[in-house]
Amino acid sequence: MEETLRALTGLLLEAVPTLIIVLLLHFYLKKVYFQPVEKVLTARFEATEGARKRAQESLEKASAMAAEYDEALRAARNELYREQEEFRQKLQQEHEQTLKEARERAAQMVKEAGAQLEAELAASKEALRKDAGALSDQIVQAILSRRPA
């Protein structure tokens, strides 16, 4: 057993330089290779995440602007429809007023034409009365001037 322990001690003593070399290699690789690679990977992760965040912010900003644009467009359409409705109502009122005035003028013209016809009728009746006397005198004269045959 002692021999095994001596062999084991010899092995351990021979392994000590290898262990020291492995530890030195570990710290060297950690300092020279793994830390720079870790920095690069961290920077890369931050860059990609930063780009993703900026893209997400840009997308949210674009969505907000699109919503504002839609709202402004909706408001403009509503304003346009309101103005069109006001214009249509104004035209309708003007049309109704024009029709009312035309009806009043037509009623006035009918009234004046009726009064003119009444005056002409009265004048015609008066002329017929005057002419009736003269015509009756002529008829009487014509009858009296005819002699029996």
pLDDT one-digit tens code per residue, 43-87? 888 888 888 888 999 999 999 999 999 999 999 999 999 999 999
pTM over 0.75: no
Q: Say how far apart CA 137 and CA 127 lie, in whole Å.
A: 15
Q: Is the pLDDT of residue 33 over 70?
A: yes
> Which residue, chain included where needed, has tokens 């015509």?
135
Dihedrals phi, psi of 147, to nearest 5 degrees: -105, 150
Task: Give the pLDDT of residue 127.
Answer: 86
Torsion of CA 49, 55, 57, 63, to 10 degrees: -150
- Burial (CB count within 10 angstroms: exposed 0-12, middle 13-18, buried 19+), residue 109: exposed
Task: Give the pLDDT of residue 76.
Answer: 95
Q: Is the pLDDT of residue 105 over 70?
A: yes
If one compares 89 and 47, the residue with the highest pLDDT of the two is 89
Q: Is the pLDDT of residue 93 over 50?
A: yes
Query: Which pLDDT band, with edges at 50, 70 and 90, does 3 fall under?
Result: confident
Q: 55: which 2 tokens?
A: 């893209």
Query: What is the residue type of 81?
Result: Y
Q: Is the pLDDT of residue 149 over 50?
A: no
Q: Give per-residue pLDDT as tens, 116-137.
A: 999 999 999 888 888 888 888 8
> What is the sign, positive or negative, of the torsion defined by CA atoms of 41, 47, 50, 55?
negative
Q: Say how far apart CA 126 and CA 132 lie, in whole Å.
A: 10
Dihedrals phi, psi of 7, to nearest 5 degrees: -65, -40
Q: Say how far apart CA 86 and CA 102 lie, in whole Å.
A: 24
Task: Give the pLDDT of residue 98.
Answer: 96
Mean pLDDT of the chain: 89
If one compares 89 and 12, the residue with the highest pLDDT of the two is 89
Dihedrals phi, psi of 139, to nearest 5 degrees: -65, -45
